[in-house]
Amino acid sequence: MHEMALCESMIEIIEREARDQHFARVRAVWVEIGALSHVEPEAMRFCFSAVAHGGIAADARFEIVSVSGAAWCMSCSKTVPLAQRSAPCPDCGGYQLQVTAGDELRIKELEVD
Annotated binding site for Zn(2+): 73, 76, 89, 92
Q: Which segments are annotated as binding site for Ni(2+)?
A: 2
Strand 61-67 versus strand 26-34 pairing type: parallel
Q: Which segments are annotated as binding site?
A: 2, 73, 76, 89, 92
